[in-house]
Structure 1
Amino acid sequence: MISQPEATIFLADQRGRSEVDWFRSFHTFNFGEYRVEHRQPFGALQVFNDDTLASQKSLSLQVEENMDVILLPLVGAIEYEDSLGEAGILEAGQVQILNAPEGFTYKITNPYSDELINFLQIWVKNQSDTFVPHSNNFTFDFRTKNQLNPLFATQAQGWIGRYDGRVQDTYPLLDEAHGVFVFVIEGAFEVQNRLLHPRDGLALSQISEVEFEALSNNAIILIIELPM
């Protein structure tokens, strides 16, 4: 049997929520006007927002310190542009990594005329002495199921995988001094003996590996290893 690490569960229905008629954002951690005890950032992971944006609407944000901003479309595509002059379209199956300096701004637009889009915004504090502002995007796919696929590598390491029901897997940490944040995008998983449903999160520390099992078909899991 595996040991129980230090863990905090972030249930989907207990996240912070910001909403207007054209935009809705769920905050795993404190963000904007949402400030609640015990919702402080987890290590270098500062922001983990699950956002839905209406057609033809735009959202602008600014970072106040050096950050690695990860944009991950889940439903539909997003149009983006930033203060470094980068712009483009990011579709589901792609991820954008913005190495954003203090004061960096970016805008996300829903390019569709009549469809909602859903995407994750993930901010990881970048404390590198050799920080250089730039951006990259990568494409991933789930043609090979039941394994973790590399998603991004910055100050943190991101992995994503689609699994069949009852398939088990293990993620070994690259550095046991790091923490791990697990987020279920679709389906259900048991992670370190804890049941997680769609959009639930789990923060783990003092652990050398993460064991998990998919409890439904086409279940999608996101795993982020990061400095504490």
Structure 2
Amino acid sequence: MISQPEATIFLAEQRGHSEVDWFRSFHIFNFGEYHVEHRQPFGTLQVFNDDTLASQKSLSMNVDDNMDVILLPLVGAIEYENSLGEAGILEAGQVQILKSSPSLTYKLTNPYSDDLINFLQIWIKNEGESSSPQLNNFTFDFKKKNQLSPLFSTQAHGWLGRYDGRAEDTYPLLDETHGVFVFVIEGAFEVQNRLLHPRDGLALSQVSEVEFEALSNNAIILIIELPM
């Protein structure tokens, strides 16, 4: 029988919400003007935003601490530039890790003339000594099925998997003092005996492994192991 760890579920419909006519953002944790008592950061995971940007529109962000900023396109591509002088296009099937220092800025633009883009912005606090800001882009195989693929590895570790219905898997923690944040991108999963639907999140602590089962075809899960 699976033990019941300490867990907090973040239902998609209960996320914070910011919107203008050209941009929509859902916040799992407190962000900007959204602030409620029980939405504090989970360990070093400070920001987890699910963003949609209209065609030809841009979003500017300012980082006010030592952060690893992870950008993950889900639908479409992102045009990016930052105060390091880096610029380019980040496409679905790629992930960007921007190791930032306070006062670093970056801008994200939807390059399409008609289509919306959807992406995740994830900020993980870097607890180590300050280092020079740097940017890395990685490509991963988004088509692999029924296994987790490494997404990024900093002080935190990210994994992404696409699963067939009723496929099961286990994620063993690299460090049992860490916590785990699970986010369902598409489909439905049962994670540690808890049912998660699209865009639901689950924070787990005091676990040595995470067991999960896909409940629909082409279900996509994101797992982040991070210091507490």
Short-chain TM bin? over 0.9
Percent of aligned pairs with the same amino acid: 84
Q: Could you tell me how far apart the structure 1 residues matched to 2:74 and 2:35 are?
A: 26
Alignment correspondent of 1:10: 10
Give secondary structure in 2 for the equivalent of 1:13. helix
Cα deviation code 1:148-185 (max 9, x no counterpart): 00000112100000000000000000000000000000
- Let me know the Cα RMSD of the aligned residues: 0.7
The 3-state SS of whatever aligns with 2:106 is strand
Aligned length: 228
1:62-115 deviation digits (Å, cap 9, x = unpaired): 011100000000000000000001110000000000001111100000000000
Indicate yes or no: 2:166 matched with 1:189. no
The 1:104/1:130 distance shift into structure 2, 3 A limit, reads: closer
Q: Hey, what does 1:132 align to over in structure 2?
A: 132
CA distance in 2, matches of 1:190, 1:31: 28
Q: 1:144 and 1:119 mapped to 2: Cα distance? A: 20
Q: In the alignment, is residue 92 of structure 1 matched against residue 81 of structure 2?
A: no
Contact 2:144 2:161 in 1 (8 A): no
Unpaired runs of 5+ in structure 2?
Answer: none
1:196-228: CA deviation from partner (whole Å, max 9, x where unpaired): 000000000000000000000000000000000
- The equivalent residue for 2:167 is 167
- Give the alignment of 1:1-228 within 5 angstroms: 1-129=1-129, 131-228=131-228
CA offsets per residue over residues 119-143 of structure 1, 9 Å max, x none? Answer: 0000000011263310000011233
| Separation (CA, whole Å) in 2 of partners of 1:209 and 1:132 | 34
SS in 2 for 1:169: strand
Distance of 1:66 and 1:3 partners within structure 2: 35
TM-score when normalising by structure 2: 0.99
Q: Secondary structure at the match of 1:46?
A: strand
Extract unaligned runs of 5+ from structure 1. Answer: none
Aligned to 1:102, the other structure's residue is in SS state: coil
Contact 2:66 2:130 in 1 (8 A): no
Provide Cα deviations, 1:23-52, integer angstroms capped at 9, x if missing partner: 000000000000001100000000000000
Matching residue's letter, 1:31: F
Runs (4+) of structure 1 moved beyond 4 Å?
Answer: none
**TM-score normalised by structure 1 residue count:** 0.99
Amino acid at match of 1:225: E
Kept in 1, the 8 Å contact 2:159–2:222? The answer is: yes
Q: Distance in 1 between matches of 2:156 and 2:224?
A: 7
In structure 1, C-alpha distance between the alignment counterparts of 2:132 and 2:170, rounded to whole Å: 33
Provide the rounded CA distance (Å) in 2 between the counterparts of 1:30 and 1:190. Answer: 26
SS of the residue corresponding to residue 225 of structure 1 reads strand
Q: Determine the C-alpha separation between the residues in 2 that align with 1:76 and 1:172.
A: 32
